[in-house]
């Protein structure tokens, strides 16, 4: 049991809409950690992702604004066209810095800043995707003592992103998509 966990960061790209709609509703309404998500999407994409997840999830799903305080029991989705960063005082900041791995929002940007803020109390999760964004970030989370998870490439809709993370040897656990929420509950001693 790792009861001192404070946050979860999830990175997802191609195939992410389906993956997020499968696992995020599995987190119960009494889940205590904040879940921060980067799903690759453009600035002009409407907020259908947020609306549809709110219809399915027991936790509140929202796009954080700049300087939003990270609160337990919420799911935060990076706004399209902005990097989502975690400040040391557990507030979000948004950035329009250049794309990283051709993406803005970038998984690496969230993962690296969250690792600096949360250290060993962070769980980093790489799901389906077609590029290598998140690979550097998963290494950073691991190097600062966090727990790292990759979706099983055999069950991922697009397996390139989890495979890239696994190749770093910085992934602690390789799990089927549907097993990830239950595994995290076990880490929390639930």
SS3 91: strand
Between CA 67 and CA 173 the distance in angstroms is: 32
Q: Which two tokens stand for residue 143?
A: 């190097």
- Please name every residue paired with 7 in a beta bridge, in sequence order, or none if there are none: 122
- Write the DSSP symbol of residue 102: T
Mean pLDDT of 4-10: 96
Question: pLDDT grade, residue 3 (50/70/90)?
Answer: low
* CATH homologous superfamily of 7-187: Methylesterase CheB, C-terminal domain (3.40.50.180)
Sign of CA dihedral 174, 143, 137, 59: positive
Q: Which of 33, 68, 74 is nearest to 50 (CA)?
A: 74
Q: Which two tokens stand for residue 33?
A: 């950690």
Query: Any catalytic annotation for residue 21?
Result: no
Query: Any catalytic annotation for residue 52?
Result: no
Kindly report the backbone phi and psi dihedral angles of residue 20, in degrees, each rounded to the nearest multiple of 5, phi listed first: -65, -35
Asked if the model's pLDDT at residue 61 lies above 50, the reply is: yes
The catalytic position among 13, 106, 113, 164 is: 13
The catalytic position among 29, 40, 44, 106 is: 40
What is the residue extent of each domain of the chain? 7-187
Between CA 134 and CA 161 the distance in angstroms is: 8
Q: How confident is the model at residue 1, as a pLDDT?
A: 45
Q: How confident is the model at residue 143, as a pLDDT?
A: 98
Asked if the model's pLDDT at residue 75 lies above 80, the reply is: yes
Query: Any catalytic annotation for residue 44?
Result: no
Between CA 150 and CA 164 the distance in angstroms is: 10
Between CA 96 and CA 79 the distance in angstroms is: 11
CA dihedral 128, 132, 133, 137 (to 10 degrees): 100
Q: Give the count of beta carbons closer than 10 Å to the beta carbon of residue 53.
A: 23
Contact 131, 13 (CB under 8 A): yes
Mean pLDDT of 149-170: 97
Asked if the model's pLDDT at residue 2 lies above 60, the reply is: no
Contact 45, 55 (CB under 8 A): no
Q: How confident is the model at residue 99, as a pLDDT?
A: 92
Q: Which two tokens stand for residue 149?
A: 């998870």
Q: What is the average pLDDT score of the chain?
A: 94
The catalytic position among 120, 133, 172, 173 is: 133
Q: Give the count of beta carbons closer than 10 Å to the beta carbon of residue 13.
A: 25
Mean pLDDT of 43-63: 88
Mean pLDDT of 148-165: 97
Q: Which two tokens stand for residue 186?
A: 């076990």
Asked if the model's pLDDT at residue 112 lies above 90, the reply is: yes
């Amino acid at each position: 049991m790792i009861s001192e966990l404070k946050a979860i960061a999830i990175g997802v790209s191609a195939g992410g809409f389906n993956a997020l709609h499968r696992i995020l509703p599995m987190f119960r309404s009494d889940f205590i950690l904040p879940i921060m998500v980067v799903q690759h999407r453009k600035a002009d994409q409407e907020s259908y992702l947020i609306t549809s997840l709110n219809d399915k999830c027991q936790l509140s799903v929202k796009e954080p604004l700049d300087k939003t305080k990270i609160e337990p029991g919420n799911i935060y989705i990076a706004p399209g066209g902005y990097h989502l960063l975690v400040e040391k005082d557990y507030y979000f900041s948004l950035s329009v810095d250049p794309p990283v791995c051709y993406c803005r929002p970038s998984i690496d940007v969230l993962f690296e800043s969250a690792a600096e803020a949360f250290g060993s109390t962070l769980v980093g999760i790489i799901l389906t995707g077609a590029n290598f964004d998140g690979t550097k970030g998963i290494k950073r989370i691991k190097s600062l003592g966090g727990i790292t998870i990759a979706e099983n490439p055999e069950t991922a809709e697009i397996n390139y992103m989890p495979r890239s993370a696994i190749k770093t040897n910085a992934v602690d656990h390789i799990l089927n998509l549907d097993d990830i929420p239950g595994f995290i509950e076990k880490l929390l001693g639930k």
